[in-house]
Structure 1
């Protein structure tokens, strides 16, 4: 991997991590087209640059994350993240097998896209517009929605948790914000685990690539997060649904054309 390729992947991570379109699918396509999809460090890089995206959430919502008197906020995040950690550990082998299956990822993208075409019709009467009104029970249920994204790569963690929030009568904006909040402990755990497993790949040059990737992902994620809630509130999920359907078809077409698509 060179610095240009690192830049491209970091831009993709920053743009797609918090949108309901699957960062996994996008980076699979980019890595395949650039011919770097089989590189072990690339696989580590794609996870490790999530730290930049995480930092973007913390910076934007710093008053929420550093209000230590509001212990209930931290408790809700802890409750919500537990299901993903448990099921991710128990189903690790299954998840690894699906990550290497482009047909599976394309199918999940396509099916998730069809689902998003109808989400706006199903949840029309939200009752909760503020995170403080989310109960521990609601947080746990949203956490179980996140499990779906862990078990089915390509579904999109953001899509799963936002839909989970809306199923608990959160407004689109409130559901999106809680999805951002929940991303912090979830992605920290995933990134820490990946770095621990791949620490032997961290030579001086690779560390520089990771630093560049995280900085770029941070800057792009700041822009994406600030734009997403406004767009979602005005336009809903339909455009993301069509986009996912097209992306699923593209991944399948690339695979059938002979490109090696591997996001293990």
Structure 2
């Protein structure tokens, strides 16, 4: 299989999984291992192409972001609360990420240990989602602006769990939000908005540290993966919200357990 096809397939995987609670990074690690994409730039590629999916959030919710920007200029309380909550939730991962960057990169680029860690994390995360779906009551629909600063900060702490490949950034933030009494739709949307500063910071940090080793081929791979993940994510976000609102997160939990179990058997066989 040509490298171009592999890159396109990985871009599709990223676009589909970025906002689902199934771990996009974990899927990229497993897919990269299956397709033989284990080059020196694979770790950077898996991090940076997530920006394509993040751009889809900005495009789909541009009016929401624009209204927040206008509200900030007017010192509107709702816009201030929205911005405060996103920045507070971003803060824990920004601080902790600086200290664990090297360890995370080592896991992502390890062809032996990385896929096994991802498989186990997928299974454990799926079980946790099922338990939370059963045990936590579902409150009426709220809003990001209506969340307290304590709730936002707590969700940010939960997001730090996603630094373990396979845990899922969206899964950790959504489950953390549900545990803090946030409704499903608001939890999912807050995860989308929080992804913007989080993944932008992670990508910039990785590019600063790795840009000298990328070369023309590395930049080309990232560009193609970026575009593909952007287009695919545009189609997935609305579908995901519809599924969550109607059926909850259990379908994604069972998927995690199944794919993690299959991967673990395949890796250890």
- TM value normalised by structure 1: 0.90
Residue 132 of structure 1: SS of its match in structure 2? coil
1:105 to 1:78, Cα distance in 2 relative to 1, 3 A:
same
Q: Does 1:229 align with 2:241?
A: yes
- Structure 2 counterparts to residues 59-138 of structure 1, below 5 A: 59-67=59-67, 68=69, 69=71, 70-96=79-105, 98-99=107-108, 100=110, 101=113, 102-138=115-151
Measured after TM superposition, the shift of residue 208 of structure 1 is: 2.8
Aligned length: 255
CA RMSD of aligned residues (A): 1.8
Within 2, Cα distance between the matches of 1:96 and 1:206?
Answer: 16
Contact 2:27-2:166 at 8 Å conserved across structures:
no
2:13 aligns to what? 12
Measured after TM superposition, the shift of residue 128 of structure 1 is: 4.6
Contact 2:158-2:172 at 8 Å conserved across structures:
yes
Within 2, Cα distance between the matches of 1:129 and 1:232?
Answer: 15
Q: Does 1:52 align with 2:61?
A: no
Within 1, Cα distance between the matches of 2:217 and 2:97?
Answer: 31
5+ residue gaps, structure 1, are 258-264
1:145 aligns to what? 158
- Structure 2 counterparts to residues 177-256 of structure 1, below 5 A: 177-256=189-268
Residue 181 of structure 1: SS of its match in structure 2? helix
Within 1, Cα distance between the matches of 2:18 and 2:138?
Answer: 27
Residue 182 of structure 2: SS of its match in structure 1? coil
Contact 2:15-2:232 at 8 Å conserved across structures:
yes
Within 2, Cα distance between the matches of 1:139 and 1:132?
Answer: 10
Moved more, 74-83 or 245-254: 245-254
Residue 133 of structure 1: SS of its match in structure 2? coil
Q: Deviations over 1:125-182 (max 9, x none)?
A: 31452111112111101101101112x2211011110111112221111100000000
Measured after TM superposition, the shift of residue 74 of structure 1 is: 1.9
Measured after TM superposition, the shift of residue 94 of structure 1 is: 4.3
Measured after TM superposition, the shift of residue 201 of structure 1 is: 3.4
Residue 155 of structure 1: SS of its match in structure 2? coil
Moved more, 7-16 or 125-134: 125-134
Q: Deviations over 1:186-233 (max 9, x none)?
A: 000111111111112343343333222111101101111110011011
Measured after TM superposition, the shift of residue 185 of structure 1 is: 0.4
Measured after TM superposition, the shift of residue 19 of structure 1 is: 0.3
- TM value normalised by structure 2: 0.88
Contact 1:128-1:169 at 8 Å conserved across structures:
no
Contact 2:21-2:170 at 8 Å conserved across structures:
yes
Contact 1:162-1:175 at 8 Å conserved across structures:
yes
